[in-house]
């Protein structure tokens, strides 16, 4: 959350030295890029690498953010991935026996 602000402030200040309207365009560009990256690209990449559904990740981020603030949002992805692995290993494979083990 702070990285884009820290990186964007110098870009906006530099653009404002040329033209104040250019500074507003830079702010708009930063907002668009952050929106696309944060709401679309990151959940899609995490869904493929961690096999974590994007909707589940967004729901967990909102819930942990509401409960624990910024730390909850930062830890939402790894905690939900860990919980999903525990459910898959403990419940789906061990308890239900799915997927079935191949016969020797």
Q: What Rg value do the Cα atoms of the chain yield, rounded?
A: 20
Q: Do 77 and 46 share a domain, yes or no?
A: no
DSSP state of 91: I
The reply to whether 61 and 23 lie within a common domain is: no
For residue 3, tell me if it sits in a domain. yes
Paired tokens of 93: 């494979």
Number of domains, the chain:
2
Residue 104 lies in a domain: no
Q: What is the pLDDT of residues 60-69, one digit of tens each?
A: 999 999 999 9
Does residue 38 share a domain with residue 1?
A: yes
* pTM, full prediction: 0.56
- Burial of residue 5 (number of CB atoms within 10 Å: 0-12, 13-18, 19+): exposed
Where in the sequence is the domain holding 57, given as residue range(s)?
53-98
Q: Which residue has the higher pLDDT, 49 or 38?
A: 38
């Amino acid at each position: 959350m702070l990285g884009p602000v820290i990186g964007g402030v110098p870009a906006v200040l530099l653009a404002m030295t040329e033209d104040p309207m250019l500074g507003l365009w830079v702010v708009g560009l930063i907002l668009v890029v952050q929106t696309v990256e944060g709401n679309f690209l990151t959940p899609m990449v995490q869904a493929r690498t961690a096999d974590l559904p994007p909707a589940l990740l967004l729901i967990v981020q909102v819930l942990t953010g509401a409960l624990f603030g910024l730390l909850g949002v930062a830890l939402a992805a790894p905690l939900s991935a860990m919980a999903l692995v525990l459910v898959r290993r403990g419940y789906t494979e061990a308890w239900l026996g799915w997927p079935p083990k191949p016969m020797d």
